[in-house]
């Protein structure tokens, strides 16, 4: 069957012309030929100029997710195998691959697909209809490519349970791809050992994107008193503990996450140094301030306060408040580590919000480091959604 063709309106397609990866439904003039949602279609500018090929899904406001800029590209098993091989070869050059993100959607030119590797287990998140059809093919190809490097994958688990799938006309999906296996996986990162729950943990089970940022706090933690807010399963707290912190308090609102964090602390023989408390951070920080508590380092790693442009103003208030509260708990000359994982909170707005928080807390900030997500979560320029994590380390000094 001949490929259908998506023809853009005159003056539209500016995003993909600038190197982006998406075409929105309101940019399309018409579709020529028969198609089903999820099909691979040709994309033509208003004047017939070929712009490439991509997955079409008119259920979604993101109508086309670009796969290739070549009009003559043959998109088959071989095409996807080469994409997967390119992604793996890149990881081998830029990061420790014992546990890492192997596929990062549009940034690896495999739109809507995420695959994380935790030692000998793969966790798959498929968020677009087109890629979902190729999911098992891609997983099989990845397993073969890893086998070439002596890595035998013992199991694959799917965590396509995000609500965003509903916008693609798909139901959330979760379960084993292939044989069942023990879904509690042991990994080591930065010298810290973790149990990762790939079945019931958040997202794919563990936040690999902060690997290098967690390592960056090591040299600042020795003999220090540390507060880790939104600790999840204890990753920053445990890095502080491994680095020789005198005491660490990790806080999270999830009882499940705190129980896992305590288990991870025991796994590393850190239960005497690193303790965890289940509490709402927004309630706990004012309480600690009232009690006169001070810390050598405060870490703020909150969930995304905004997942749409419509809620940015509210998110700014949340980031400002949490940073004011955190800054007030840092000793003079101590350190604040603060981050945002929402791509809608762009770097300039996040920096402005931190400046306002410092003014509100009557603190001065010396920037020690600015970092983003690890290189296994590559930022594809012009694909704005691939740049989401902003991470700062500041020295905090009293106004003088």
Q: What does the pLDDT read at residue 309?
A: 72
> What gap in Å lies between CA 376 and CA 88, rounded to an integer?
9
From first CA to last CA, the distance across the chain in angstroms is: 74
> What gap in Å lies between CA 310 and CA 120, rounded to an integer?
40
Residue 5 has pLDDT above 90, yes or no: yes
Least confident among 14-23, 79-88, 346-355: 14-23
Question: How much is the pTM?
Answer: 0.94
228: Cα separation from own chain's centroid: 19
Q: What does the pLDDT read at residue 201?
A: 86
Residue 374 has pLDDT above 80, yes or no: yes
Q: For residues 224, 229, 233 and 239, what is the CA-based torsion angle, rounded to 10 degrees?
A: -20
Going through 45-81 in order, the beta strands assigned E by DSSP cover: 50-56, 62-68
Report the pLDDT averaged over residues 327-351. 95
Q: Tens of pLDDT along 100-130? A: 999 999 999 999 999 999 999 999 999 999 9
> What gap in Å lies between CA 254 and CA 280, rounded to an integer?
9
For domain 77-184, the CATH superfamily is RNA methyltransferase domain (HRMD) like (3.30.750.80)
According to CATH, the topology of domain 207-398 is Rossmann fold (3.40.50)
Least confident among 59-63, 162-166, 226-230: 162-166
Q: Which two structure tokens, joined as six digits, stand for 70?
A: 């070549």
> What gap in Å lies between CA 138 and CA 158, rounded to an integer?
13
Mean pLDDT value across the chain: 95
Angle at alpha carbon of residue 101, lines to 163 and 171, rounded to 5°? 20
pLDDT band at 202; cut points 50, 70, 90: confident
In this structure, the chain runs to a length of 400
Say which residues have a Cβ less than 8 Å from residue 259's Cβ, sequence separation at least 6: none
Least confident among 164-168, 191-195, 265-269, 374-378: 164-168
pLDDT band at 384; cut points 50, 70, 90: confident
Q: Tens of pLDDT along 228-286? A: 999 999 999 999 999 999 999 999 999 999 999 999 999 999 999 999 999 999 999 99
List the chain domain ranges.
Answer: 5-68, 77-184, 207-398
Q: Tens of pLDDT along 292-323? A: 999 999 999 998 876 667 778 888 999 999 99
Q: Which two structure tokens, joined as six digits, stand for 29?
A: 């003039």
Instruction: Tell me which residue of 165, 167, 162 sits closest to 58, measured CA to CA.
Output: 167
Burial class (CB in 10 A: 0-12, 13-18, 19+), 215: middle
> What gap in Å lies between CA 49 and CA 46, rounded to an integer?
7
Least confident among 88-97, 108-117, 242-251, 343-352: 343-352
Residues that are catalytic: 341
Q: What does the pLDDT read at residue 312?
A: 83
Q: Which two structure tokens, joined as six digits, stand for 198?
A: 């790939």
Report the pLDDT averaged over residues 370-393. 94
> What gap in Å lies between CA 131 and CA 150, rounded to an integer?
27
Strands 22-24, 40-44: pairing is unpaired
Q: What does the pLDDT read at residue 308?
A: 67
Least confident among 6-10, 65-69, 250-254, 304-308: 304-308
pLDDT band at 1; cut points 50, 70, 90: low
pLDDT band at 383; cut points 50, 70, 90: confident
Residue 51 has pLDDT above 70, yes or no: yes
According to CATH, the topology of domain 5-68 is 2.30.130
> What gap in Å lies between CA 81 and CA 120, rounded to an integer?
20
């Amino acid at each position: 069957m001949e490929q259908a063709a998506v023809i853009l309106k005159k003056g539209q397609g500016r995003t993909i012309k600038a190197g982006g990866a998406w075409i929105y439904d309101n940019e399309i003039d018409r579709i020529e030929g028969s198609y089903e949602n999820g099909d691979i279609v040709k994309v033509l500018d208003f004047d017939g100029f070929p712009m490439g090929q991509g997955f079409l899904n008119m259920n979604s406001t993101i109508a086309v997710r670009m796969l290739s800029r070549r009009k003559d590209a043959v998109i088959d098993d071989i095409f996807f195998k080469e994409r997967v091989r390119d992604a793996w070869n890149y990881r081998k050059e830029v990061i420790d691959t014992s546990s890492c993100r192997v596929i990062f959607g549009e940034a690896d030119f495999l739109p809507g697909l995420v695959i994380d590797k935790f030692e000998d287990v793969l966790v798959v998140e498929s968020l677009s209809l087109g890629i979902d059809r190729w999911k098992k093919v891609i997983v099989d190809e990845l397993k073969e490519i890893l086998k070439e490097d002596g890595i035998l994958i013992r199991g694959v688990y799917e965590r396509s349970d995000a609500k965003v799938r509903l916008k693609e006309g798909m139901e959330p999906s979760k379960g084993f791809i292939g044989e069942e296996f023990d879904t509690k996986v042991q990994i080591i990162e930065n010298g810290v050992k973790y149990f990762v729950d790939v079945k019931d943990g958040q997202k794919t089970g563990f936040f690999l994107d902060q690997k290098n940022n967690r390592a960056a706090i090591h040299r600042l933690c020795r003999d220090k008193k540390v507060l880790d807010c939104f600790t999840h399963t204890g990753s920053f707290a445990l890095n502080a503990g491994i680095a020789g912190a005198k005491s660490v308090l990790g806080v999270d609102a999830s009882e499940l996450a705190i129980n896992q964090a305590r288990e991870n602390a025991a796994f590393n023989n850190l239960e005497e140094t690193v303790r965890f408390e289940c509490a709402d951070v927004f309630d706990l920080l004012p309480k600690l301030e009232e009690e006169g508590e001070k810390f050598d380092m405060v870490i703020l790693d909150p969930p995304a306060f905004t997942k749409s442009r419509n809620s940015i103003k509210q998110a700014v208030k949340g980031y400002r408040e949490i940073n004011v509260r955190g800054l007030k708990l840092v000793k003079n000359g101590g350190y604040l580590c603060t981050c945002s994982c929402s791509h809608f909170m762009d770097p300039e707005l996040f920096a402005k919000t931190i400046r306002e928080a410092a003014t509100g807390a009557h603190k001065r900030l010396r920037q020690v480091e600015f970092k983003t997500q690890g290189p296994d979560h590559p930022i594809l320029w012009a694909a704005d959604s691939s740049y989401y994590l902003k991470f700062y380390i500041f020295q905090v000094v009293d106004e003088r």
